Amino acid sequence: MTSRRPRSRLSQVAAGLREFYAGPYRRTFARARRDEDDLFLVLVMAEALGVPNPVSYYTVELLPAVYDQFHDWHRRMGMDRSPLDSISCC
Other beta carbons within 10 angstroms of residue 24's beta carbon come to 9
Does 1 reside within a domain? no
The predicted-structure confidence for 23-41, as pLDDT tens digits, reads as follows 899 999 999 999 999 898 8
% residues pLDDT > 90 (the chain) = 28
Q: What is the average pLDDT across 1-20?
A: 83
Structural domain of 54:
9-77
Does 4 reside within a domain? no
Does 61 reside within a domain? yes
Number of domains making up the chain: 1
Does 3 reside within a domain? no
Does 35 reside within a domain? yes
Rounded CA-CA distance 48/56 in Å is: 10
Residue 5, pLDDT > 80, answer no
Contacts of 45 (CB under 8 A, 6+ apart): 63, 66, 70, 84
Does 73 reside within a domain? yes
Q: pTM of the prediction?
A: 0.65
Does 48 reside within a domain? yes
Q: What distances in angstroms separate CA 73 from CA 35, 63, 90, one per listed residue?
A: 10, 14, 12
- Tell me which residue of 65, 15, 73 sits closest to 49, measured CA to CA: 73
